[in-house]
A = this chain, B = another copy of it.
């Protein structure tokens, strides 16, 4: 299944140590909900590696690039024809703009931490709010991707997984894929 438009996440304002868990959640949610990759605008190889490691074990082609410069990353993306969606509690309502965003060829979703540079609001093609309430960049991102893909991302398959989880009513079922042999754990 191909999800359209392609989406890429840009994580800005990450402070090593303080934001490691939240940024890891941002990266893993991006992957699980259909984004193609994440750019991290900070130098934190540990976080990038931990996301890449999960991606390798659970399949798919999600990438995480460490230590990009946020502004040149945005400018390069725009030059290549992509549109920039900045998630902020001050923006236009998701439910009012998502149909327009869905028509774009590819989008970069910018996810800030507590403070973001003021010129980001101008650089963005869409400043988008999920509920105009203070909550979490992780849930804002999750809802943005889910509304972008209209829930179809929940049916996404992740090829070449080493570890696969089977939906189970009570308990846990995982399958380990190894050199073509399958073994129920």
A-side residues, CB < 8 A to B, are 21-22, 25-26, 28-29, 31-33, 54, 58, 89-96, 121-122, 124, 127, 129-136, 138-143, 146-147, 151, 153-156, 158, 165-174
In the assembled complex, which residues on chain B have CB atoms less than 8 Å from the CB atom of A28?
133-136
Copies of this chain held together in the complex = 2
With contact pairs A22-B22, A167-B129 given, residues A139 and B90 touching in the complex (Cβ less than 8 Å): no
Query: Given A33-B139, A131-B153, 12 other A-B contacts at CB below 8 A?
Result: A25-B135, A29-B136, A29-B139, A58-B133, A91-B168, A127-B170, A129-B165, A129-B167, A132-B165, A133-B158, A139-B139, A140-B142
- Give CA–CA (A135, B21) in the complex, Å: 11
